[in-house]
Amino acid sequence: MKKTTVLISLFVVLSLGSGLYAQTAPDKIIFQEAKILLFDKDWRAALDKIDDLRERFPYSPWAGQALFYKGECLNGLGGRERDALRAYKEYIQLVGAQVNLIEEAEGRIIDIAFDLYESGDAAALRDIEARLGAVNNVVRYYAAYKLSLVKDKKVAAKAAPILMKIIEDEKDPELLDRARIALLRVSPASLKSAEDRKPRSESPRMIRIRIRKAGQKEPAFSLNIPFALAGLALSALDEDDKAAIRKKGYDINKIMNELVKSKESILRIAGDDGSIIEIWID
């Protein structure tokens, strides 16, 4: 009986001790304080907390997650984007890294790489191109969409196969619209090809766009897409093209409204160089 009492007492003491540790463990406290500072966007103070945690408690269960949040802090500080990239890349390589945080880290890497490219670092695009082969659909699709925004059309065209696959296989309307706009931006012909291969219950009405240069019989540019994508086609025009159309007395929104109402309109816009833009539906 005495032995049993001693064992029970020891169990209670150990239980209380472990519970007390779980509540007051210094590594957990530092991690929680860092997250509060991070949510308040006090990047510098949060980063100091995270560095303190990782230095004092390198084997803490919170040290891994802290690496992701270190990337958040560095990214938020500005001017330390490359350090943020390293932190995110280290995090996604960790054993036990959380799936949702890996996905977020991959998205941050893509965004930072694109911003670095826009600032003149062409090599930064490698981080985006590498993610075109990601297993995770969200990461792969986002990499393709972001790459479609690159000014170098030859590079942007590398996103076309992924964008075509989205159009052929996915069902989500918002995802499809984003993919169509992106593909229209980099390769109108690929958009037509992807739409042609997609199973349909019926043949849709088509919107047809032709641009003819002065003195030429064959169009310099030709695009046929389902009428349902008319808005995407016109909204995807470059701002310079939209401005040129407005100068001719046409407004993109009005054009769309007229096409939607009548579904029979034929629009012809004459350019200063003698070129003709034709938009019609059949």
C-alpha to C-alpha distance for 207 and 223, rounded to whole angstroms: 8
Confidence of residue 73 (pLDDT cuts 50, 70, 90): very high
| Total count of domains within the chain | 1
Which of 52-56, 131-135, 219-223 has the least mean pLDDT?
Answer: 219-223
- Mean pLDDT of the 120-126 span: 93
Give pLDDT, residue 236: 58
Angle at 234 between CA 232 and CA 237, to 5 degrees: 105
Give pLDDT, residue 174: 84
Residue 15: CA count within 13 A, CB half-sphere: 6
Has residue 127 been placed in a domain?
no
Sheet with 206-212, strands from edge to edge, namely 221-226, 206-212, 276-281, 266-270
Has residue 224 been placed in a domain?
yes
C-alpha to C-alpha distance for 31 and 46, rounded to whole angstroms: 9
C-alpha to C-alpha distance for 270 and 102, rounded to whole angstroms: 51
Confidence of residue 169 (pLDDT cuts 50, 70, 90): confident
Has residue 101 been placed in a domain?
no
Task: Assess whether pLDDT exceeds 50 at residue 9.
Answer: no
C-alpha to C-alpha distance for 224 and 207, rounded to whole angstroms: 6
The structure tokens listed for 101 are: 């945080």
C-alpha to C-alpha distance for 207 and 229, rounded to whole angstroms: 8
- Mean pLDDT of the 16-45 span: 79
Q: Determine contact, residues 75/113, Cβ cutoff 8 Å.
A: no
Confidence of residue 228 (pLDDT cuts 50, 70, 90): low
- Mean pLDDT of the 50-61 span: 92
Q: Determine contact, residues 37/51, Cβ cutoff 8 Å.
A: no
Q: What is the DSSP letter of 132?
A: G
Has residue 22 been placed in a domain?
no
Picking from 258, 223, 226, 255, the residue whose alpha carbon sits closest to that of residue 242 is 255
At position 112, the amino acid (one-letter code) is I
C-alpha to C-alpha distance for 71 and 50, rounded to whole angstroms: 10
Which of 66-75, 104-113, 189-198, 241-250 has the least mean pLDDT?
Answer: 241-250
Torsion (CA) 15, 16, 18, 22 in degrees, nearest 10: 130
Residue, of 134 and 6, whose pLDDT is higher: 134
Residue, of 125 and 190, whose pLDDT is higher: 125
Per residue in 247-274, pLDDT tens? 666 666 666 666 555 555 666 777 777 7
C-alpha to C-alpha distance for 194 and 103, rounded to whole angstroms: 27
Confidence of residue 86 (pLDDT cuts 50, 70, 90): very high
Per residue in 175-188, pLDDT tens? 888 888 888 888 88
Give pLDDT, residue 217: 75
Has residue 131 been placed in a domain?
no
How, if at all, do strands 276-281 and 266-270 pair? antiparallel
Has residue 216 been placed in a domain?
yes
For the full predicted model, state whether its pTM sits above 0.75.
Answer: no
Task: Assess whether pLDDT exceeds 50 at residue 138.
Answer: yes
Residues in Cβ contact with 179 at an 8 Å cutoff, skipping those fewer than 6 apart: 141, 144, 145, 163, 166, 167, 170
Has residue 217 been placed in a domain?
yes
The structure tokens listed for 126 are: 């490698």
What domain range includes position 274? 202-282
Residues in Cβ contact with 70 at an 8 Å cutoff, skipping those fewer than 6 apart: 47, 50, 51, 54, 87
Give pLDDT, residue 261: 59
Has residue 110 been placed in a domain?
no
Residue, of 45 and 229, whose pLDDT is higher: 45
